[in-house]
Structures are given as C-alpha cells and as structure tokens.
Amino acid sequence: MQDREHSSSADQRIMPLIAETAVSGTAYSFDMLFSYAVPEKLAAKTACGCRVLVPFGKGNTRRIGVVMKLSDGDAKGLKSLVSLVDEEPVISAELLRLAFYLRENTFCTYFDAVKTMLPPAMSVSAKETFRIVKNFTDIASLSPGAAELLQTLSCAADSKELNRLAEEHIIDNGRRLTDELCDAGALESDNVFRQNVGDAAVRMVRLTDRYITSPESFDLTPKQKQAADFLGEYGTAAVRETAYMCGITDSVIKRLCTNGAAEEYEAEVLRRVEDLSDEKRSPEDLVLSEEQQSARDTVLAQLRGKKPAVFLLHGVTGSGKTSVFEKLIDDTVKMGRQAMLLIPEIGLTPQTLRRFRSLFGERVAVIHSGLSLGQRLDEYKRIKRGDADIVIGTRSAVFAPLGNIGLIIIDEEGERSYKSDSSPRYHTHDIAKQRCAYHNASLLLASATPSIESYYLAERGAYRLIEMKERYGNAPLPEVSIIDMNLEREAGNRTEFSRKLAEEISANLKKGEQSILLLNRRGYHTIISCCDCYQPVYCPNCSVPLTYHKKNNKLMCHYCGYVSEPVDTCPSCGSKHLKNMGFGTQKLEEELSTFFPTARILRMDADTTFSRYSYEKSFTEFREGKYDIMIGTQMIGKGLDFPNVTLVGVLSVDKALYAGDFRSYERTFSLITQVVGRGGRGERSGRAVLQTFIPEHYVMNLAAAQDYKGFYNEEIAIRRAMIFPPLCDMCIFCFSGNEDISARLGAEAVLRLMNEKLRELQPKTPVRVLGPVRCSYGRINGKYRYRIIMKCKNNAEMRGFIRGVLTDAAKLKEMKSIALYADINGDVGV
C-alpha cells in the first residue's frame, strides 16, 4: 500500500529505490507499510532496519519510521524520505522478520512491533530547524501565500523566533507553504534527532536553605506543607518516595519547588550493572547428580546436532535445575554460540546475576525494566557488539540482539509474567520458539509447576519431557501441615496465626533458624466496609475497593494509583458505622511484632521495594541472617534460595482460587507448591504450615504433597470438559470507554459484526463466541470495560478473521469513542 499524496514537485521524479516503511503513531485499523521514494543522496546508506524521518498524511507531518523492505520500482507520485535517523540498521534481519511475526500474531502495528525490541532509551524525537537563504531573489516564482510567509519569517529577530514562527505556521496551516519555500531554495530545513537516553539518576528532593531559615514566609497549601514536614524530618528523599509517603502526586512536589521551598536534584546512578559479589567459580567444579547429568546430556545432544527443539524440564522444588542451566550455558558458549536465561521476576535477577557472573564474569549481560534507561542501553550495546554472549533477564530480554543463539532457557516457565499485557501482547515462549527456529537452537522450558499448556504439549510429544523427581542431595521435601482455620475460629483464635504456626515460628526463633510467611495481599486492611449498606469504600476511578495503608495513613487503589485520606462516612449511604476488614502485609508485620517482640522482621511487597536496589539489598540481608522472618506477597514465593529457611507459612491464598479466571486453580497450586518449596534447602529439614478455610479442596492437598501430576490430571479433565486452553485457543476482545452504555453498545455492535463475518467465512475449525460481558473489574482508571471471548484455533484463517474484525470495527458508529484490542490466550479474569 502506498502513501501517494503529492507534497512537492521534487517528489515527482522517478526513483529507482522504494522504502516500505513502518510509520509511528498509526492506529491498527489503518496500519500498513507505506511506500516512500528514496532520494539519491540517501540511497547508499538506506537499509532495512534503519529509522527514517518521513512526511505523513495530508499535512505531511514529520514522523519517525522504520524501513521494513526495500525494492526497485516506479516511484512516481510517491513522497520521499526526508532524512535518515541512523547511519546503520538498529535492528537485525532476524528481528525484522520477527516484527512481521509479531504483527501477524499479536495484532499490533508494525512500528510497535519494532519499538518493543529496542531499549526505551533508543527512542528518538525529531526537531526541525529552519534558516532563510540570504541570496534568494526569485520571489516571483512563489505563490502569494509562500511569499507572504517568507516576508513574515524574514522579520524574525533571531533564529529562535524564526523557528517558532515556522513551527506555529506548520501547526496551524500544515506544511504546504514551508515545503514550497524549501523546494524553491528560499528556506533551508534541517532535522535534529534527539535520542531519549534518559537520566542515569534518581530524582531527589530536599528543602531549600531559605525555607529552613524562615518557613513562615512561605504560603504553602496543606499538601505542600505535608511534603515539607516530611522532608524536614528526613532531610532528603526520592521524589517518588516522598509522594508515596505523603499520599500526594509528583505535581505537588513540583509546585513546592516552584515556590522556592524545595529543590529537586539528581542522585547519580552508575550505568554499570553491579552484581555485588567478588566470588569466582569454575563451571568444571559443578558436581551434578545422576538426574541432573541425565537432563544435561539430553539437551546437550540436541545442541551438538544444531537442530531446533523444545524441552520441558519438570523438576521438583530444590532438584537443582539452576546447576543444569549453568552446565548447559557453559556447554553452549564453549561451542562458540550464545545463551539466554529468562526469569519471571525482577526480584530474582540479582541472585541469578550474581551466580552467573561468578562463573562467567563480564560475559554476562542483564536486561530488565528495573534498570535505568542508560543501563539498559549500555547492556544492549554490549550484547550487540559481542562483548557479552550470555543474557539474563525478564520478559523483554527475549529480544536481546544476539546473533548466534544456541540455547534459550525459560525458568519458572508457567509464570503469567511471561505474557505481555500491553501491545504487542506476545507470549515469551512464542518469541523464543521463533528465535530458536531461526538459529537452529534449543529451547529449555523449566519449572516445578509447568503451565498446563506446556505439560499438555509434552505429553503429546510436541515438547521433549525431562523429569527430575528428587531434590539435590536427597534432601527431603518439607513436611506440610494443613490447618483448618474454621476450627481455629471455633476454638476462639481470632488472630491470623494458627496455634500450630505460632508454635513453629517460636521454635525457629529459639533455634536461630529463619522463617518465610506468605500473604498474598499488601497494605494493612484489605478494605473498609459499611456496616449498614455492606458496601466497601470504592476507588472513584475503578470498580475496586480501596486498600488502607497504615504506614502513610492513606486509602490507596492498587490499580490506578488513586490516593485519599481515610474516611469516616460511607460514600454510598452516609453511615458512620464503618469497619476494617481483611488483613494485609503491613498489619501482618505489626501483629508479628506483637507476638514475637524480639524477632527481626523483613517485609517484602510492592510498597517496600521502591528502587531497583531494594530487592537485592533486602534479600542479601535476609540471606546473611540479619532478619529472622521474611513476610511478603507472591514476589517471595518463587526461585529464591535461602539455606537457613526451615519454616514456611502460607497464611491466605483461598481467595486466589476464585479469581474468576479459568487459570486460578493453576496459579494457586503453583504459588503454594513454590513457596512451600523454599523451605529445607540447606542441611536441616523443612516444615510448612498451610492455613486455609477450605482444607478439603484438592488444590490445597495436591500442592501440599507437591503432586504436580495429580493436579495436572484433575485440571486437564476440567479444561477438556469446558473446552479451555490447551484444548483450544482463546481470543479476548477487550472494549473500554468513558461511559458504560457506550462501551456496552460498542461491544454489542462488534458482536453483530463478528457473527456476520463468521457466516460469510464458514471457518474450517469450530468457533464459539461468548459475550459481551462486563470485565471482572468493570471500571479501571475511569474506563468502563467489556469483553467478548472467542474460543477458536489460532491459525492463519482465524488470525485473518480477527484482523478483519479489528479493522472493520473502527468504522462502526458505535465504536467512535471506544478503544478495542484483541489478545490471544490472554487473561480473562481481569
């Protein structure tokens, strides 16, 4: 498809080279590759994968694009590329090919597909500057409008004013006259590209000397005064931390600085990713058990054969999967190839990085969103230059610019964090498979609790299954006690700790051993509810109850970030009879301190891990024995290895079983199994206490027994009966709008469109369409949300159908103000 609008006479020349370009800022409904002529002066340097500046649309607005294809042909009538952003391609031929795959399978735009592969710091913006050509005399050749504009620009006092006038004219009237002046030689334009390298620093704030000396001379609002008091007590703090602790937004702090009461400054952040470890190890010193060696040999044979394959390593918690990874990565780099290890949580990265840096040193690069923009950019450059041949990271690291991949490992492969929930909505497994196929590499999926989809494919022979059934060193699995909290309540125990758990914690404290307690809710009280109308206090922007946080004495929404003061009146009925309900990590920390006043307690949740260093510092201190008890949410549940932990307590995961998603049983089983597996990894045996109000539920019992195969058999039977993945694929069409009725009417109109198209298509595979229904959280961040679920087969025919629905839906009058996206095998319980 070609962008054939005429912008100037210069564009009428026939160009031998045509660049098919992905253009930024396009909506999916009209996204395509736009054809541009390549000027002779740019032809030698223009290559696929280079970013370019192009004129776009009727007003010839300058936009950034990426050259996806180059071809010879008749360029008559095509607009020309304005300039090159990059001297050489920023994306390889392999990743360019992967961009086409992303657009085909995740229904994103071409430009978004490329953008997601590059570090955020590489995003560029273009600034156009103009200069009047002093010796231009051919005024008669200009149109009246162009001559008038030239006269206006000539009266500018300096270059800054000239550029302001030209920019205002383009915004108000488009580019036609400025382009005419440039083509006639009266005006010269140049484009300056600014790369968003970001600040390699943390934004900090402190009070000014003037405020400290005479605070009474400042007229501050109550919120500004609150921030000033906080800074007066603590001296200096990160802007983000100040905003959180005071329950205010960044803009309040900005106004405080504008008033002269405070000042922002940047604390330097080193762009190098440190692993905080001087330990050096050799891969030859790793001793594998018989099971570990068998797993390594199976994958190694495939690596040597240089043929793509997918393995599923199912090993019980503590079976030593990481040692197998280390040996296989060593094998891979010794073959002269590159390796990638993906992990699900940022919190696991420091521990993993330290371990692999001790073996492979500076050859290890790390990529995850917790790094600064500058750090991510520098790690990307190291990988691209070939200075690092081992990459460790979270989901986005799957796009690392490695050129000779031999092995990709996805640890804890069943984690849903491997699925992107923003465009492009890709699954890391699918991208890894594509890259392994291109490089003739092996993909190793590993987990104690594999996803049902992966185990199903292994059973059917699509993946090669490797089992590790014994813990390393024959360490026994923790002894698990399931405690019926109903009986605790009947016995008069109103605390969150069963008598058994309290006894075990006390015993551990006496023996100097450590304990981990998991509670899957942060905050203090989960909700505040009315005793008269029984309604909780909801977020005004979301259909989600607010959570009380005692540390900053605020009600907070964990979805949109809304913050308010505690309320004493029910917003629904005006009643004064409110009660606190539920139990969060902050309250758990407080009660633990009451029961065990001498215990040193570490709380790990999203409220205590502000900076990218918080995870590592806290986990290191816990590992070094500076704390007796670690409490936290699911971030502490997986992948961590603490040899002195002998007790694990799971306080409440019952609610997760009924999350409204067909994967809720799977997630609950995985979380319990994994957190129970954190105990007994050293020389001493472990115990686990699982508290529940539904002790007879098979998920609880199978997780306690670490019986994955038993759980899989139960779960796959349900999925088969209900026709859920992996027995089918599921496409979720998600609608959102400012008004509830508009979002519903838009969804209903699209449903009619889908039914019409299905009648015309008569698809070869079965299709079942459900909905539209309101999403589980019907309103998030002020947007009302509906969904349509389509059970189908993810094949070319159905992807073409989905593309058609998304494109045609944009033309419906009911969809005028409604946003729509499609997500294959995404979450339905949101």
Q: What is the mean pLDDT of residues 85-113?
A: 96
What residue type is 795 in one-letter code? N
CA–CA separation, 442 and 460 (whole Å): 19
Residue 268 binned pLDDT confidence (cut-offs 50, 70, 90): very low
- 357: three-class secondary structure by DSSP: helix
Instruction: DSSP letter for 216, please.
Output: G
Strands (E), 254-349: 262-268, 309-315, 338-342
What the block records as the tokens of 559 is 């979805």
Higher pLDDT, 256 or 472: 256
Type of residue numbered 661: D
Mean pLDDT of the chain: 88
Of the ranges 204-208, 297-301, 381-385, 624-628, which is most confident? Answer: 297-301
Task: Please state the separation of Cα 775 from the chain's center in Å.
Answer: 21
**pLDDT at 829 (0 to 100):** 59
pLDDT at 233: 83
Over residues 714-762, the pLDDT tens digits come to 999 999 999 999 999 999 999 999 999 999 999 999 999 999 999 999 9
Query: What is the DSSP-derived secondary structure letter of residue 476?
Result: P
> pLDDT grade, residue 1 (50/70/90)?
very low
Please report which confidence band the pLDDT of residue 396 belongs to, taking 50, 70 and 90 as the band edges: very high
Q: Who's near 663: CB < 8 A, 6+ residues apart?
A: 416, 452, 827, 829
Per-residue pLDDT for 377 more than 60?
Answer: yes
CATH entry 3.40.1440.60 includes domain 9-123 = yes
Mean per-residue pLDDT, 122-136: 86
Residue 245 vs residues 203, 363, 566, 707: alpha-carbon distances, Å: 16, 40, 14, 43
Confidence of residue 125 (pLDDT cuts 50, 70, 90): confident
- pLDDT band of residue 275 (cuts 50, 70, 90) is low
Phi, psi at residue 718, to the nearest 5°? -65, -45
Mean pLDDT of 75-97: 93
Cα separation of 777 and 781, whole Å?
Answer: 11
- pLDDT, residue 521, reads 63
CATH number given to 479-522+584-719: 3.40.50.300
When pLDDT is averaged across residues 13-39 and rounded to a whole number, the result is: 88
Closest CA to 315 of 714, 639, 701: 639
DSSP string, 690-738: EEES-TT-HHHHHHHTT-HHHHHHHHHHHHHHHT-TTSSEEEEEEEEES
Give yes or no for residue 5 having a pLDDT over 80. no
pTM to 2 decimal places: 0.83
- Superfamily grouping for domain 283-473: P-loop containing nucleotide triphosphate hydrolases (3.40.50.300)
Q: Regarding predicted confidence, which is higher, 79 or 475?
A: 79
pLDDT at 13 (0 to 100): 42
User: Does residue 236 or residue 689 have the better pLDDT?
Assistant: 689
Nearest Cα residue to 58 out of 79, 74, 37, 36: 79
One-letter amino acid at 311 equals F
CA distance 473 to 289: 8
Across the range 391-402, mean pLDDT stands at: 95
Q: What's residue 56's pLDDT? A: 92
Residue 345 pLDDT grade (very low, low, confident, very high; cuts 50, 70, 90): confident
How far apart CA 57 and CA 488 sit, in angstroms, is 69
Structure token digits, residue 827? 């979450």
Residue 746 corresponds to which tokens in the numbers above?
Answer: 């838009």
Q: Which of 107, 115, 117 is nearest to 794 (CA)?
A: 107
Least confident window among 1-5, 386-390, 584-588, 616-620: 1-5
Of 189, 220, 201, 341, residue with least CA distance to 266: 201
Closest CA to 807 of 669, 799, 10: 799
Say what the pLDDT of residue 444 is. Answer: 98
Specify the CATH number of the domain 729-824: 3.30.70.360
Q: Between 653 and 140, where is the model more confident?
A: 140
Give residue 526's pLDDT.
Answer: 63
Confidence of residue 504 (pLDDT cuts 50, 70, 90): very high
428 — pLDDT class (breaks 50, 70, 90): very high
Six token digits for residue 497 = 């700790």
Q: Which two tokens stand for residue 666?
A: 């799977």
> Is 219 a residue whose pLDDT tops 80?
yes
Confidence of residue 772 (pLDDT cuts 50, 70, 90): very high
Residue owning tokens 């709008």: 737
Peptide bond into 643 cis (omega under 30): no
pLDDT at residue 9, rounded to an integer:
35
Query: Which of 325-334, 360-369, 374-383, 579-588 has the least mean pLDDT?
Result: 579-588
**HSE of 84, CA atoms in CB hemisphere, 13 A:** 20
DSSP string, 730-784: EEEEEEEESSHHHHHHHHHHHHHHHHHHHHHH--SS--EEEEEEEEEEEEETTEE
What are the pLDDT digits (tens) for 430-485? 999 999 999 999 999 999 999 999 999 999 999 999 999 888 777 777 889 999 99
Whose structure tokens read 């994958």? 299
Give the torsion through C-alpha atoms of 440, 446, 452, 453, to 10 deg: -10
90 versus 241: the higher-pLDDT residue is 90
How do residues 774-830 score in pLDDT, each as one tens digit?
Answer: 998 899 989 999 999 999 999 999 999 999 999 999 999 999 999 999 999 988 756
Q: Give residue 544's pLDDT band: very low, low, confident or very high (50, 70, 90).
A: confident
pLDDT recorded at residue 47: 96
Among the four given CATH numbers 2.40.50, 3.30.70, 1.10.10, 1.10.3470, the one describing domain 201-268: 1.10.10
* In contact, 342 and 408? CB cutoff 8 Å: yes
DSSP H or E run through 436: helix 428-439
- Mean of pLDDT values over 42-70: 93
Of 601, 567, 563, 561, which is closest to residue 585 (Cα–Cα)? 601
Q: Which residues of 563-591 are buried (b: 16+ CB within 10 A; e: fewer)?
A: beeeeeebeeeeeeebeeebbbbbbbbee
pLDDT-above-90 percentage for the chain = 53
Determine the Cα–Cα distance for residues 512 and 805; give it in Å rounded to an integer: 62
Per-residue pLDDT tens digits for 615-670: 677 888 888 899 999 988 777 766 567 888 899 998 877 877 876 688 989 999 99
* Band of residue 38 on the pLDDT scale cut at 50, 70, 90: very high
What token pair was written down for 85?
Answer: 């952003």
